[in-house]
Structure 1
Amino acid sequence: MNILTKRNIITLIVICILIIAIFLLSLNTGTLHIAPLDVLQTLIGQGTHQQELILFDFRMPRMIVAILVGAGLALSGAILQAISRNGIADPGIIGINTGAGLGVIVFVSFLYGKMPVDSFFSVFVLPLFALVGALAAAVIIYVLAWKQGVTPIRLILVGIAVNAGFGALLLILSLKMSPNNFQFATIWLAGSLWGTDWKFVLAALPWMLILLPLAIYKARFLNALNLGDPISTGLGIHVERERAKLLFISVALAGTCVAVAGGIGFIGLIAPHIARKLVGPKHQILLPTAALIGSFLVLASDLLSRSLLTTTEIPVGVIISALGAPYFIYLLMKTK
């Protein structure tokens, strides 16, 4: 079946247009409003020094981080849903994000005084700590869920339990922090897109440039795994090896996103479901569509977080959770 149908192409174009529109709108929205015409003039090098500072040093890196994080979390969730054959799998729900967060909080707790979290070296070390934490969570979930194989329902239930346990450890470490570190941890846990300068873009970009294309390249294996292990084996696929590779890609994507954006949940749940309704189940088109939808959702949520209240900024994770929690309940009610 041809996946690049006219409808699918139009869908991708429309989502891209929406992302560009939200991106431009976000550039002129904030504490200091910049008119759309001034934004365009600044982008072509004819703005004031203040406008260039605001757009290029503060807002634009934040928007790029939002795009990368949305795409990464969406693909991570789509991969988890495919390898577990469970529509409610999500890195935030089953504990992958919390494991990555625990890695970040361990870094902040023990190395923050010697190495400020926003220093150049720390920015590039943070994704490694997040990856280790996410991998630890994934291994624990997989081992505990294994009982002559891994069933979708066991994976979800064990993941929720591990998520709660890691969350408790994370809270204990947070309470033992100094006031400054605790403030950082609180903001980070809410999912605040805290990494908002070019250092964080440079820290996340290499991982994303490798992992995003690799995930899309593995789409045919995801299609096969959706058919079940016996059929996948009959097609000549080494099921456990490919599942392990795909799980690592999903965990690495989630860990990188958590390192630069904090505890943002539900994107990996919502974006793949919307993409599936729009373009169908084939992962060759589902994955890029989900990535674009995830980017749009995070960008739009970030815009809302800076626009709803004039006196303060709502964490992006709170906006997304307000949208994602009802949808998760709806999926649970539909799941047999």
Structure 2
Amino acid sequence: MSHEKLRTSRKWLFLSMGIYLVLFVVGLSFGASTLSIDRLIPVLFGQGTFKEEFILFSIRLPRILILTLAGAALAMAGAVLQSVTRNDLADPGIIGINSGAGVGITVFYLFAGSKIQHFNYVLPVIAFIGGLLTAICIYFFSFEKGKGIQPVKLVLIGVGFASALSGLMILMISSAERQDVAFISQWLAGSVWGTDWPFIVALFPWLMICIPIIYFKANVLNLLTLSEPTAIGLGVNINKERSILLVVAVALAAAAVSVTGRIGFIGLMGPHFAKRLVGPKHQSFLVITPFIGAILLVLADILAQIIFSSAAVPTGIVVAIIGAPYFLYLLRK
């Protein structure tokens, strides 16, 4: 990497970190109960009232951290999927992986019911199994021998799987109790339901394992974006590397949506914005991709609370309002 490109990458990295920190502080201050910015530091150091400490440590802080981890995970998952499939439209939500994870969560919820809060460590595993089975099916149907994965076919099959699996979730809860229907409906809308500290502890290890693997495989990802004959000629074991990276991407996406609900487009927008800022080389844009993912999801949550404060609009709906036009723009290109 040239000195100029390195300086540009560092500039955007520090800028994205700064924007995230601003949104982090703003997110701690906005909500149904007021907690002014000038009171944050005193409350953090134990100089607040019981109400202020409860709002900050039991409601706002865990929610912001969950949004941060989920946004980073979804953005990194999208970056990997776009490179592995050589399709700029690939996103865990668009191609059905999130819906596959949702089916797993739905089946588990119908058995666990209201006790699902006690299975915070199990939920990412259940979502991972559902997401991985879906990804294998999509991969199988979009693969052509001698040609590899067909990008357009992958999106079409993924959209079909996403619709079918969403319908399956609705079918499964059609005869369920009212509270069960409410939970699954909130999950489908991306309501960010798992905002307690145990869910942070459950989600954090998935990022700590998967994201370093992605960084380690950055050069392999560069080669996978080339044509298959070229990648093979450069010594890449395509099937092995694709399998590893696909599992990592599914693990990140499934772990994220297991606690946030079905949130799409973060995995689409995050990598694209990062590439526009620092270029398409994975060693460059993967560094800022998690921050951009976190920025997008935290910003969407803040907008949901400020603009739609009286309507209680789920964060996933706000993300869709932002992301759908961008998806159409990319599709047109």
1:139 aligned residue (116, 136, 140)? 136
CA distance in 2: counterparts of 1:32 and 1:10, whole angstroms = 36
Shift of 1:147: 2.2
Stretches of 4+ moved more than 4 A in 1? Answer: none
Residues 306-334 of structure 1: CA deviation (Å, up to 9, x unaligned): 11133342100000000011111111111
CA distance in 1: counterparts of 2:227 and 2:18, whole angstroms = 37
Residues 135-175 of structure 1: CA deviation (Å, up to 9, x unaligned): 11001111111221321122111111111211111111122
Alignment-derived partner of residue 318 in structure 1 = 317
Superposition pairs for residues 62-73 of structure 1, below 5 Å? Answer: 62-73=63-74
3-state SS of paired residue (1:124): coil
Alignment-derived partner of residue 231 in structure 2 = 232
Fraction of identical pairs, as percent:
39
Determine whether 1:79 maps to 2:80. Answer: yes
CA distance in 2: counterparts of 1:136 and 1:108, whole angstroms = 19
Superposition pairs for residues 224-263 of structure 1, below 5 Å? Answer: 224-263=223-262
The 10-residue stretch of structure 1 (145-154 or 200-209) with the greater mean CA deviation from structure 2:
145-154
Shift of 1:110: 2.1
Residues 44-80 of structure 1: CA deviation (Å, up to 9, x unaligned): 2211121111101111010000000000000111111
Superposition pairs for residues 96-111 of structure 1, below 5 Å? Answer: 96-111=97-112
3-state SS of paired residue (1:112): helix
Shift of 1:291: 1.1
Alignment-derived partner of residue 150 in structure 2 = 151
CA distance in 1: counterparts of 2:24 and 2:310, whole angstroms = 22
Alignment-derived partner of residue 208 in structure 1 = 207
3-state SS of paired residue (2:290): helix
1:123 aligned residue (114, 120, 124)? 120
CA distance in 1: counterparts of 2:167 and 2:149, whole angstroms = 25
The 10-residue stretch of structure 1 (143-152 or 2-11) with the greater mean CA deviation from structure 2:
2-11
The 10-residue stretch of structure 1 (289-298 or 141-150) with the greater mean CA deviation from structure 2:
141-150
The 10-residue stretch of structure 1 (94-103 or 140-149) with the greater mean CA deviation from structure 2:
140-149
**TM norm structure 1:** 0.96
Give the partner amino acid of 1:40. I
Q: Which runs of 5+ in 2 are unaligned?
A: none
Aligned length: 330
Q: Which runs of 5+ in 1 are unaligned?
A: none
Give the partner amino acid of 2:154. L
Give the partner amino acid of 2:288. T
